[in-house]
Copies of this chain bind each other. A is one copy, B any other.
Amino acid sequence: MSQHVVVIGGVALGPKAACRFKRLEPSSTVTMIDQSALISYGGCGIPYYVSGDVSDASELCTTSFHMLRTPEFFKEVKGVDVRTLTKATKIDREKKCIHVEDMTTGETSTIDYDKLVYATGASPRKLNLPGEDLNGVSYVCNPDDATAIRERISQGKVTNAVIIGAGFIGLEMAEAYSDMWGVGTSVVEISDQIMPKLVSPALATMAQKHMEENGVDFYFGETVVSIEGEDGCVKRVVTSKRTLDADAVIIAAGVVPNSRLAEESGLECAERGGVLVDEFMRTNDPDIYAGGDCAIVKHLITKDPFFLPLGSMANRQGRIIGTNMAGGSARFEGVVGSFVVKLFETSLAGSGLSLEVAALAGFDAVSVLLVQFDRAHFYPDKELMTLELVVEKGTRRILGIQGFGSSGDAMVGRINSVAAILKDEPTIDDISNMELAYAPPFSSAMDILNALANTADNVLQGINRGVGPDGFKELWEQRESGKSYFLDCREVADAAEYMKLNPDHWHNIPQGKIYEHLDEIPKDTSVVLLCNTGARSYEAQVLLGDKGFKDVINIQGGMAAIKKYGVKF
């Protein structure tokens, strides 16, 4: 039985659902409408176009075999009818038709449907700041925005760029601007770290430091009060604490689902917006499907409704909708919230819950940080990778993992390996024993992921007791109090620099010599143990524990983490 499917929205999910359905039911017809002129573009590529990595904006609108994804392409190659500049104004669920308006002529008409896909995406969150309309202020939204942003740069109009928001798009845009010679780039963020809630303060600070070294300035805990201009062009951004010069402003304060039309049509939506769907991606109307950035999904760890506007999820959901409209019963269970963002030569990634979000969700959790080489320590091209594992205390359940490192693919590979099992409530043991492919050019014999879980095991067993680089910083800043005895248990040559810088507060006994020098270590203060990455200091902690030292703190990640984090000595 031939059907007519109508798709509202022509980016990511819409085209995927349309084409998948059409392949399964070649004799049915599909009409896809979009209110803009451009469809099926890779919006996630915009920062890379601005930076020049992608040379032509049209590349964001082509297939992998260089064909422009135009309405003609969809008709000819995919058999899908596309009407651009066509806005849906009403869904008449009783008559099973949608009302549309031609954005060019203003003409209205209706389109009947057997099945409808609601794929309207999301829009940038508006801050409604005075001056938002000034020339040079932009929401990063579609290829047209990108073209305008890049034109302004290439015309030499941009000396200072200010980014509002330190989330994915904000950071990617900050890199894009800062990578260009002569553009001073600042990021203003209302919270006190980059990627708030997604990664720990420790990982966020490491990434921030790397971006600062690449010329990006950060202003945390500040809100933007207004944007000021001259002759219609942006000139300054005024925050709650300062005024920043700006010839270009990017507002990247998140996105909100475009679910108003759905709501007006009686489709169930979340309180804060976003269409609600079941595991088959159906709305409360069995003939209407929704997905992508306009829909709400289930978080498989918190079990709460979750908003995850990601092109990857939209594509996977699109296929499921296409399958189900053709009589299938494919399921989308929910998400664990995997993410990655490239920041100059490093990347920040994660899956599941950060410690902060785990606590907010009611878990009694702890996080463990580990720094280790990403491949065999004797292999020449290796990098230190930092991973953080979030674990529920009583159950030993893994709630999340986050990472920072310079070998992006290697780090993301570890995150993905954990992401793959997160929904099945894995415990520490599942990662301790995870069987990653091993060869010296790719991993250590005890891979960092296995070692991370082993560390978490030791922490939960109470035999590895410590804090990360942020905890060390606090202790170090109070060094004059005399409450802590800082003991560097690396070899003498490694510790020398710090001994010289801090003769009063820095002590050094190599781990292998501690037994001989026990009486030099005070028993009445807290002993803070440091080594390169936290492995030897853990062994020293075990030894001291065995010799009756009770208050011993191991610095997780050691000097490697501290250096990446940045502490003044």
Q: A interface vs B, CB < 8 Å?
A: 12, 16, 23-24, 26-27, 42, 44-45, 48, 53-54, 59-60, 62-65, 67, 73, 76-79, 168, 172, 310-316, 319-320, 330-333, 335-342, 347, 349-351, 372-373, 376-380, 407-410, 412-421, 424, 429, 432-443, 445-447, 450, 454, 463, 490-491, 494, 511-513, 531-533, 535-536, 539, 542-543, 545-546
CA distance A319 to B453 in the complex (A): 12
B438 near A45 with CB under 8 A, answer no
CA distance A274 to B376 in the complex (A): 27
Q: Oligomeric state, in number of copies?
A: 2
CB nearest to A450 among chain B residues: B316
CA distance A432 to B323 in the complex (A): 12
For the A-B complex with A44-B438, A424-B424 known, give 20 more contacts whose Cβ atoms are closer than 8 Å.
A16-B446, A23-B463, A23-B542, A44-B439, A44-B440, A53-B379, A54-B380, A76-B512, A78-B539, A172-B439, A312-B435, A331-B433, A335-B435, A342-B442, A347-B441, A409-B410, A412-B442, A413-B414, A420-B420, A420-B434
A542 near B26 with CB under 8 A, answer yes
Contacts A342-B441, A420-B420 given: A336-B376 contact, CB under 8 Å?
no
CA distance A380 to B48 in the complex (A): 9
A340 near B438 with CB under 8 A, answer yes
A447 near B312 with CB under 8 A, answer yes
A319, A373, A418, A454 interface centre (most CB from chain B within 10 Å):
A319
- Among the listed B331, B349, B409, B491, which residue makes an inter-chain contact with A409, where contact means beta carbons less than 8 Å apart? B409
A42 near B445 with CB under 8 A, answer yes
A313, A336, A408, A414 interface centre (most CB from chain B within 10 Å):
A408
CA distance A336 to B417 in the complex (A): 14
- Among the listed B44, B314, B372, B412, which residue makes an inter-chain contact with A437, where contact means beta carbons less than 8 Å apart? B412
CA distance A310 to B432 in the complex (A): 16
CA distance A376 to B312 in the complex (A): 11
User: 17 A-B pairs, CB-CB below 8 angstroms?
Assistant: A44-B440, A45-B378, A60-B378, A63-B377, A64-B373, A77-B511, A315-B446, A315-B450, A316-B446, A319-B432, A337-B435, A338-B437, A412-B436, A413-B414, A415-B437, A417-B417, A424-B424
CA distance A65 to B384 in the complex (A): 13
B420 near A64 with CB under 8 A, answer no
Say how far A350's CB is from chain B's closest CB, in angstroms: 8
CB nearest to A384 among chain B residues: B64
Contacts A378-B60, A446-B315, A542-B26 given: A338-B45 contact, CB under 8 Å?
no
Say how far A516's CB is from chain B's closest CB, in angstroms: 9
Residues of B contacting A54 with CB < 8 Å? 378-380
Residues of B contacting A73 with CB < 8 Å? 512
CB nearest to A458 among chain B residues: B23
- Among the listed B60, B78, B337, B341, which residue makes an inter-chain contact with A439, where contact means beta carbons less than 8 Å apart? B341
- Among the listed B350, B432, B435, which residue makes an inter-chain contact with A338, where contact means beta carbons less than 8 Å apart? B435
Contacts A380-B53, A437-B415 given: A445-B44 contact, CB under 8 Å?
yes
Residues of B contacting A380 with CB < 8 Å? 53-54
Contacts A64-B377, A446-B315, A490-B65 given: A543-B437 contact, CB under 8 Å?
no
A73, A412, A414, A490 interface centre (most CB from chain B within 10 Å):
A412
Say how far A542's CB is from chain B's closest CB, in angstroms: 5
A45 near B419 with CB under 8 A, answer no
- Among the listed B331, B442, B542, which residue makes an inter-chain contact with A408, where contact means beta carbons less than 8 Å apart? B442
CA distance A380 to B494 in the complex (A): 40
CB nearest to A333 among chain B residues: B433
CB nearest to A63 among chain B residues: B377
